[in-house]
Copies of this chain bind each other. A is one copy, B any other.
Amino acid sequence: MLISILTFQGFNELDSFIALGILNRIKKPNWRVEICCPESSVTSMNGVTVIAQSRLEQLHLSDAVIVGSGLLTREVVKNPEIMQQLQEGLAPSRQLIAAQCSGTLILAQLGLIGQIPACTDLITKPWVQESGVNVLNTPFYAENNIATAGGCLASQYLAAWIIAKTQGLEAVKEAMHYVAPVGEKDDYVKRAIANIEIFL
């Protein structure tokens, strides 16, 4: 199982790394989670430079993809080379595809949201609506192989959904229990399950 977290220049650290940290709670030999970038390194919206673990050309090898968010997503959707690589690498018929905040704009522009409702952050919301998508006032929504989340810390729900779809709800409970604050672990587990369970 290869999970790629699409991470572009100007990326939001919370969106890429919360999902990465939670997904890596699954300890299985064939379970790999990679930061996948258009270049050999990317620098975040707050100036942190991260080395790519894989490149867009390898995206088609992924079993699941998280489309990360960032300050420059509107530039990404205007970049024909990147959008062509995404079009070629993403395959919702055989991949789980999950978009975080402005990542939803990328899926909308690629025509992968279609008629289903979607979640995004409050800043990206009008741009996603302009693409003809019904934006919900909730943290998480999924239908078939497409999921979306809104608000940086909702990235925990994208990770939980991918784990639930492939490893089951018990694995979600263990992963969320590990990362949750001490003394608040039961609350965090319950809320994550409540957010994703109805979409499984």
Contacts and interface: CB of A to CB of B under 8 A. Distances in A.
Interface size on A, as a range, is 35 or more
A183 interface: yes
A1 interface: no
A30 to B, nearest CB: 15
Contacts of A136: 182
A188 B20 contact: no
B150 A179 contact: no
A191 B21 CA distance: 22
A139 B21 contact: no
Contacts of A50: 48-51
A47 interface: yes
A137 B12 contact: no
A10 to B, nearest CB: 13
Interface stretch (A60-68, A151-159, A162-170): A151-159
Nearest to A34: B47
B12 A139 contact: no
Contacts of A17: 13-14, 17-18, 48
Given A137-B183, A138-B182, A138-B183, A188 B21 contact: no
A182 B48 contact: no
A172 to B, nearest CB: 15
B18 A46 contact: no
27 contacts: A12-B21, A13-B17, A17-B17, A17-B18, A18-B18, A20-B46, A24-B46, A33-B46, A41-B51, A48-B50, A48-B51, A49-B51, A121-B182, A136-B182, A137-B183, A138-B183, A139-B182, A140-B181, A149-B181, A151-B180, A151-B181, A151-B182, A151-B185, A152-B178, A152-B179, A153-B153, A153-B188
The 7 A-B pairs of least Cβ separation, nearest first, read A139-B181, A154-B181, A150-B182, A151-B181, A14-B21, A49-B51, A13-B17
